Amino acid sequence: MSRGEPGPRPSPRHAQSGQAAIETAIILPLFVFLILGILQLGMMHQARLMAKYAAYRAVRVGSLHHAHKDAMEQAGLAVLLPLISQDQGGGESIQPVTGAKNFQKKWNSEGVSTNQMPDAKLPYVAVTICGPTLQELPGGTRELDFDDPRVASSPYDEWLQSHRTKLRIQVTLNYRLPIPFANWVIHSIALQRELPMLMRMGKQQPPGQNLFGQEYADAANRGVYILPIRAAYTMRMQSNLYASALPQSNTCLTTNHL
């Protein structure tokens, strides 16, 4: 071959091989995220169902124990224990609960029995009493008899008065996303995007803040991605209500089911 003449052209097979490599480099990350995202969303759906059952167990304990908040949180935590994960240094790890021995071991692990995450300023499970509130009780009431028919009835507003003896709670599972890469993407979408006014139900979102609180943002800055999963339940009281255990007003964020 003389000087100045073009060299041999690459064969069509080599050209197609290079094109396939470029397409793979573009598509593979999206495909991996799709698989990991499906796994993560499936686990979140399971957590949502378990949170609903935990709300039932918690409100049942509360109805029997004078709406004691700590007792309800312990009952909810016991139900959700199989979903509790912890950072073992190399990412989130979920210890299985297959029997009483595994349950006791995981329950006694760091932070679980005290319902406090060791690496975030959040509890694993939080219970909020939606009602009855102090505003619903007669003035000066310290104890309300759950089985007194005069408490749950009124000739003027019987439906509203009947709620005095119904315990309404909200259970929040602070779910730690365990799937790498998908946890960061889903967390960013859920907590950091700007939502339309209609989806915020008319509430203004302060600029530069997420929708759930600074504790979740602080945990994300340390590589711990947590999303709150909430469920509500209502049950009629089976023990007397004490005013000291009730909130001043309803601060729940979910809809209670009667």
In sequence order, the 6+-apart residues with CB closer than 8 A to the CB of 101 are none
Name the nearest CA neighbour of 166 among 232, 76, 241, 254: 241
> Each residue of 185-240: pLDDT tens digit?
888 878 755 545 544 445 555 544 456 788 998 998 888 999 999 999 999 999 99
Q: Which residue has the tokens 């909130």?
A: 247
pLDDT at position 22 is 79
- DSSP alpha helix (H) spans, 111-213: 158-161, 182-192
DSSP character at residue 194: P
pLDDT at position 221 is 87
Q: CA 196, CA 199: separation in Å to the nearest integer? A: 5
Q: CA 94, CA 158: separation in Å to the nearest integer? A: 48
Please identify every stretch of the chain with a pLDDT value under 70, giving residue numbers as ranges.
1-18, 151-161, 192-211, 254-258
What 3-state DSSP class applies to 144? strand
Q: Which H or E run contains 122?
A: none
Q: Where are the domains of the chain?
A: 20-192+213-245
Q: What is the pTM of this model?
A: 0.80
pLDDT at position 153 is 62
232 contacts 169 by C-beta, under 8 angstroms: yes
pLDDT at position 69 is 95
pLDDT at position 211 is 62
What 3-state DSSP class applies to 209? coil
81 contacts 93 by C-beta, under 8 angstroms: no
